Amino acid sequence: MSIIDNTCDFELSLVDLQAIDELEKQLTQRDSPLLEIPCCSEICDDTEVILHRRGNRKRRFVIESGDEDENPEQQINTRLETDLWYEPAGKQRRIIPFTECPGLKPYSLRNTMAQSKPEDFYSLLVPDSVFHDIAVETNRFAAQTITKLSSKNQIQRGSRLLSWSDTNQDEIKRFFGLILYMGIVRLPKLADYWSTDPLICQSFPRTVMSRNRFEILLRMVHFSNNDNQKYDIYRSPSSAADAMF
């Protein structure tokens, strides 16, 4: 019997496992005397038995068969074949190649905008004229709404509509900037962006505009004149809507 280090695994053959199982059976039979276990050399002369105290180590046994390593080259070739790239078979997605030249157009902008800031590119795609048109239509819609509700005595005392003041393109630009900010910083409620709670407090929105002003603009923002559109206002063409969307 050979002793190995406690920290390493050891290998047992099937015959060894049978001998160990027989020994365990004899040890569990307390009422009967221990039977004499045949020596491993008597069971199999050419097999070395390695006995060790039981622990948490893994048991490994050697399969006494030559079929596993009959053709090692064939196993290597099989692994190589599975690792090779090949053209996929069956119905595949048709990819339409992009044939245009990427980048800003006209090409002169590539030089003039080379050192520009992100807000410069935003102004290039959404010019101030768009915000001007939105401000004009928002003021128009606010005036129409206030006149309509006043004629029906539906404006309550203390309503924000009574303190409405016309907006301009700079304020509309800040308004849409806050909307983009809210798309990045998500909070449960709109009022939470102006909350003073230390857990969810955001210092940026209140530096742009007050919550009351943002909410009244959100109610009145408009892209086209309702008097000129007799059909679906969400599908009506307008210069501001076309530029934004």
- Judge if pTM exceeds 0.85: no
> Which pLDDT value is given to residue 241?
60
> Which pLDDT value is given to residue 40?
46
Per-residue pLDDT of 97-134, as tens digits, reads 888 888 777 778 878 888 889 888 888 889 999 999 99
Find the mean pLDDT for residues 61-72. Answer: 54
Burial class of 205 by CB neighbour count within 10 A (0 to 12, 13 to 18, 19+): buried
Find the mean pLDDT for residues 10-22. Answer: 77
Find the mean pLDDT for residues 27-41. Answer: 54
Q: Are 89 and 40 in contact (CB under 8 A)?
A: no
Q: Are 200 and 192 in contact (CB under 8 A)?
A: yes
For residue 201, what are its two tokens?
């407090």
Question: Worst-scoring range by mean pLDDT, 24-38, 159-173, 222-236?
Answer: 24-38
> Which pLDDT value is given to residue 111?
83
Q: Check whether 224 has a pLDDT greater than 70.
A: yes
> Which pLDDT value is given to residue 43?
46
pLDDT band at 185 (very low <50, low <70, confident <90, very high): very high
Per-residue pLDDT of 232-244, as tens digits, reads 555 555 556 666 6
pLDDT band at 145 (very low <50, low <70, confident <90, very high): very high
> Which pLDDT value is given to residue 68?
52
> Which pLDDT value is given to residue 34?
45
CA distance 38 to 35: 9
Query: Residue 77 phi/psi, 5° resolution?
Result: -65, -35
**Residue ranges in the chain assigned as alpha helix (H):** 14-28, 40-43, 72-83, 109-112, 118-125, 128-151, 169-184, 205-208, 211-220, 239-244
